[in-house]
Structure 1
């Protein structure tokens, strides 16, 4: 059956496509260089971990206890002490105009409250124009203040955020000991790189497949192929197979060469399952590219049409934002997205 399917006409067409890819250096470069650069950039930039948040401080206490708290915040890589301020108004102005991203106000009675066994309160002011940075910085500050509070006697220290007092911490309580599965070190690149690989499999295969077919139409060779003895199925398979093989090489470079070597993403599961999923993504992307090429007459039209398909595929994949954070009516749409299942 396979011998009948791989007829001499099909093999001749596939040989022609392989030779064309080998001669066209632009196709080879577009299959390797842009995806590799994008994976390197996105793997390094798309990081939910916040570091070097510019911190301004008002230390109205001026005691060793307050300086120890400031040192704990400064030692962590999350915050970078920028400067000290004299008044809350100056600190608030600095936060609002962006000179600092967060501000810590330690009241004058900080040491006295600790010595008398009362809960000491510090105020933490955040610039929430970037809501994600503000939320993560708040979490980091809570962790530092909580760790500092465990080292003092009495109820400890309570951080008041955004000028609104929260619930008062009580002595004793419950301690949480988290256990992280699959990513014990919480390396953001492990999630980002794998998601970007899925994105590139679809987006690059869509672009390459549509461009190849549109180029054939613009050159007039597609009409010559249709007039040849080869069937429509043989023409389509001969077009897809060489592109699929070249894209598989791209996946190997992205997953093994960059994901594993550069970013250290572990490869603990089934190698066959990973590349089988990538192959399905590539076939899905090639199918989308062929679909676009049937409705467009030029490369310019193909690029315009891809703007209406590729961004929704990327944002509805779960690789950029969690699917659980999307509206309930939009979540079922993600099930038809090939990248979501990668």
Structure 2
């Protein structure tokens, strides 16, 4: 046993030195766990932020001026007043996402109770801003018109009072969600890439043949690659979590970090094994890259990090329950967002351990077959 552990340790150190001499991989690790995490946290794809809007005011009344002044930063840019012939060219050129047209005699018709119509032109190619902005604009217009007619700000007392309580994200900040989910996705992606690239690099450089004449077994070779690349991703995850998410983005972490990194280690056992399996299927790095696209897209999109799993078809939920990313995402959200303990996340830990063991056994069988063909 001591001899096997020594072989696994020395082969793992060799993998770390090989990675240290690869500037491309080092740049990829540093970039993804710093710039990519920060960008994902600050992009705010589903939040209205400086949405360009223009207003065609053909009424030029106190009510139309009141409506125009209700659109202000940071949700909207300061409204630009344009003439009607400039609506279509402005939308075609992408200068505006929303264009509100206020018809002539609008205030007079409102006061007379004629229910005049406004026109809201929306550039629907900007999906997030168009969907949220159109609804927000309607609320603003209706609210300003109602207050203008009632001559005071306020609303009628309702028979039932609904008290909203925001749990786990009281400010509804997308930074909390975007940064942590990006980190969760990067743990999966980098672990697969690093282990797969390590095996393909040895095959391209001819060092696999050197390993075959050494007194090492395929299990020792695989375990060395698993622990070495998993250690790199684990350290990068810890630095990114503390340096980028907690310090730069000021995102609070609710749960136990020790429990979270235990789940990360179990997940890395599964994903590094998956990376070795994919490397035995691909014949070169370009093929491995194409295979990564086919594998990573469903793993990320259907794991529950982007959309809730409950909104997916039943057969998709069952199929993705066999993927490690599903349980890792569920476990990460429970610990980092809701402060869950072991009593809540232990099913995810068990699932990750079982899936990792199955992937390791499958990858080891494929790896032995590949080595036998080279021999």
Q: TM-score normalised to the size of structure 2?
A: 0.75
The alpha carbon displacement at 1:115 in A equals: 4.1
Say if 2:136 is the partner of 1:140. Answer: yes
For 1:208, which of 172, 194, 200 is the aligned residue? 194
Aligned residues of 2:193 and 2:275 also touching (Cα < 8 A): yes
Residues 1:8 and 1:63: Cα distance change in structure 2 (over 3 Å):
closer
Separation (CA, whole Å) in 2 of partners of 1:204 and 1:181: 32
**CA offset at residue 119 of structure 1?**
5.7
Query: Residues of 1 paired with 2:98 and 2:246: CA distance?
Result: 36
Deviation, structure 1 residue 275? 1.7
| C-alpha separation in 2, matches of 1:172 and 1:123 | 31
Instruction: Provide structure 1 residue ranges, at least 5 long, that are not aligned to the other structure.
Output: 157-169
Structure number with higher strand proportion: 1
State whether structure 2 residue 59 is matched by structure 1 residue 61. yes
The Cα offsets for residues 222-257 of structure 1, whole Å up to 9 and x where unpaired, read as: 233233223332222122111111111110122111
CA distance in 2, matches of 1:15, 1:204: 19
Please say if 1:126 is aligned against 2:112: no
**Structure-1 separation of matches of 2:146 and 2:269:** 56
**Partner secondary structure for residue 210 of structure 1:** helix
Q: Which residue of 2 aligns with 1:263?
A: 249
CA contact (8 A) 2:278 2:288 kept: yes
Pick aligned residue for 1:190 from 167, 170, 176: 176
Distance, in Å, in 2 between the alignment partners of 1:92 and 1:325 is 37
Choose which of 263, 272, 278 in structure 2 pairs with 1:286: 272
The answer to whether the 8 Å contact 2:98/2:134 transfers is no
Match of residue 167 from structure 2 = 181
- 1:44 corresponds to which of 39, 42, 45: 42
Cα distance, 1:334 vs structure 2: 3.1
Cα deviation, 1:116-173, whole Å, max 9, x if unaligned, reads: 57766533222223333211101221332344245334499xxxxxxxxxxxxx9766
Taking a change above 3 Å as real, the CA distance of residues 224 and 91 of structure 1, as seen in their structure-2 partners, is closer
- Using the alignment, how far apart are the partners of 2:221 and 2:167 within structure 1? 47
Q: 5+ residue gaps in structure 2?
A: 330-375
Aligned Cα RMSD in Å?
Answer: 3.2
Aligned 8 A contact 2:63 2:145 in 1: no
Shift of 1:291: 0.6
Q: In the TM superposition, what are the counterparts of 1:66-85 in structure 2 within 5 Å?
A: 66-74=64-72, 77-85=75-83
Instruction: State whether structure 2 residue 232 is matched by structure 1 residue 232.
Output: no
Taking structure 1 as the reference length, the TM-score comes to: 0.81
Q: Is the 8 A contact 1:47 1:192 kept in 2?
A: no
Q: Aligned pair in 2 of structure 1 residues 105, 300: CA closer, same or farther (>3 Å)? A: closer
Q: 1:83 to 1:277 in 2, by over 3 A?
A: farther
Structure 2 Cα separation of the partners of residues 12 and 75 of structure 1: 58
